[in-house]
């Protein structure tokens, strides 16, 4: 038993070190591998641990491991980087489903000797896991554009009623465990429905926060399940995921200058408007040649990536353009907003895939200091994170949100397919500003043409 606990400690240490290394793009890959080794060790130790009443279901266990590994391998090979937020949300839902399955099995093992603490922990794991499962499925649907926002005057009250009913049933079942055998299934059903109604009203632009919050829920459910099974690595792993997800959620809310409560009760979405939205604006369109000349003879260029870059799969050609400019003496950096894209760290992952040096990735505060020295700021598919309405339009839904202050640059070029609003549906006055010129077209094609023009200037 002591050897098993020692191996669990080693596994936990690997998870902690891996999580720590995930905090930097430069060490994230190694951290992910270390955490995978830690989880693999925990699985092997758990399988080999002697369990009272064990019936030796090793064939089923091995079959499940092989099936899960094959599915994970297929997903990792086939899913594009643009679909990574959806994949993360889906996998997070599977974690919640796992907690649900464990909990419902344990609930029907309860007897007269089951303590209130174990019963409460198991039902809480069932409840939180159910929310994480169906909530993550809704988030996946919203990220893929298959699920629309569901809003109404009574949406928040409806969710509150579901929450009170579910908590009430859990308390009743804990106090009177043998009264109704079907009540655990009712609790499960309400938990699953609450997960749906919890996420449906939340605006699409708040999805990065929601994914982080649901990730925290899954970690909490795993930690609770670890308490039920008295499994140290499951408990500590769940605590790590739950606490890191919670911290990230809080940090992202701060980055958007919004409270978590305001996100949960509905956020902003496609119906959002501001005072600027109704004003007439004049758009100045840039030519390809003029843009290439401006960038070629600039001293400092700042690239601002957004979800549009991910959609166009333009990260590698962006790196090629960076290389062409750097070879000609231009300093190129990338301004990364904490909530750019549709999941935390989305832009960092895409640029790391394209082998962009980590020291070129500049965070929000440092980037805002560097804009005053930037000759050209090139916006590649970003919208809300560069919207100046957040600073000067109190009627805007994103007013007060920290944004990249690119208007401090000498020139702004925006790569965009059209004048359609961004993911949140909020008009952006940046597009009509005197400093701004629009270069319309697919981001990847536009960057390729810019790169060709710049190479031809030698």
Just list the catalytic residues: 384
Residue with tokens 């909020």: 426
Six token digits for residue 64: 């499940």
Find all residues with CB under 8 Å of 151, minimum gap 6, and list them. Answer: 201, 266, 269
Please give the Cα distance from 174 to 176 (Å, whole number).
Answer: 6
- The widest CA-to-CA distance across the chain, in whole angstroms, is 84
Q: Are 34 and 18 in contact (CB under 8 A)?
A: yes
Please give the Cα distance from 287 to 235 (Å, whole number).
Answer: 58
Please give the Cα distance from 355 to 358 (Å, whole number).
Answer: 8
Please give the Cα distance from 430 to 283 (Å, whole number).
Answer: 10
Residue 37, judged by CB atoms within 10 A of its CB (0-12, 13-18, 19+), counts as middle
Find all residues with CB under 8 Å of 402, minimum gap 6, and list them. Answer: 255, 256, 257, 364, 390
Nearest CA-CA partner of 38 in 282, 236, 262: 236
Dihedral sign, CA of 399, 402, 407, 408?
Answer: positive
Tell me the C-alpha to C-alpha distance, in Å, between residue 214 and each of 165, 195, 267: 21, 10, 16
Beta pairing class for 361-362 and 436-440: unpaired
Find all residues with CB under 8 Å of 366, minimum gap 6, and list them. Answer: none
Residue 323, judged by CB atoms within 10 A of its CB (0-12, 13-18, 19+), counts as middle
């Amino acid at each position: 038993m002591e050897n098993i606990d020692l191996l669990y400690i080693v596994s936990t240490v690997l998870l902690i070190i891996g999580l720590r290394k995930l905090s930097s793009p430069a060490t994230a890959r190694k951290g992910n591998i270390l955490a995978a080794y830690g989880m693999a060790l925990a699985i092997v130790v758990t399988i080999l641990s002697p369990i009272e009443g064990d019936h030796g279901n090793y064939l089923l266990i091995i079959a499940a491991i092989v099936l899960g590994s094959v599915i994970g391998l297929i997903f990792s090979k086939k899913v594009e980087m643009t679909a990574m937020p959806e994949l993360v949300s889906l996998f997070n839902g599977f974690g919640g489903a796992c907690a649900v399955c464990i909990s419902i099995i344990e609930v029907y093992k309860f007897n007269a000797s089951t303590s209130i603490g174990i019963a409460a922990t198991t039902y809480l794991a069932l409840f939180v896991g159910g929310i994480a499962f169906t909530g993550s499925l809704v988030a996946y649907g919203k990220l893929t554009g298959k699920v629309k926002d569901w809003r109404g005057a009574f949406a928040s009250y409806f969710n509150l009623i579901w929450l009170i009913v579910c908590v009430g049933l859990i308390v009743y079942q804990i106090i009177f465990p043998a009264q109704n055998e079907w009540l655990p299934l009712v609790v499960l059903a309400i938990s699953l429905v609450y997960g749906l109604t919890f996420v449906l009203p939340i605006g699409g632009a708040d999805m990065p926060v929601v994914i982080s919050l649901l990730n925290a829920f899954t970690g909490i459910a795993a930690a609770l399940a670890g308490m039920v099974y008295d499994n140290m690595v499951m408990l500590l792993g769940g605590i790590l995921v739950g606490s890191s997800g919670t911290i990230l959620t809080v940090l992202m809310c701060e980055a958007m200058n919004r409270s978590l409560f305001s996100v949960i009760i509905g956020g902003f979405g496609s119906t959002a408007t501001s005072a600027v939205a109704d004003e007439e604006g004049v758009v100045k369109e840039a030519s390809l040649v003029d843009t290439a000349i401006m960038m070629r003879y600039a001293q400092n260029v700042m690239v601002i990536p957004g979800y549009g870059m991910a959609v166009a799969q333009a990260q590698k050609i962006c790196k090629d353009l960076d290389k062409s400019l750097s070879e000609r003496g231009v300093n190129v950096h990338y301004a990364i907003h904490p909530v750019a894209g549709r999941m935390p760290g989305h832009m960092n992952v895409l640029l790391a895939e394209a082998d962009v040096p980590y020291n070129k990735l500049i965070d929000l505060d440092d980037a805002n200091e560097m804009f005053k020295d930037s000759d050209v700021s090139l916006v590649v598919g970003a919208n809300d994170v560069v919207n100046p309405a957040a600073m000067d339009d109190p009627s805007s839904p994103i007013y007060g949100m920290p944004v990249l202050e690119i208007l401090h640059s000498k020139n702004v070029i925006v790569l965009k397919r059209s004048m359609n609003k961004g993911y949140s549906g909020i008009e952006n006055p940046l597009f009509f500003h005197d400093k701004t010129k629009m270069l319309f077209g697919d981001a990847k094609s536009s960057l390729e043409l810019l790169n060709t023009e710049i190479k031809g200037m030698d």
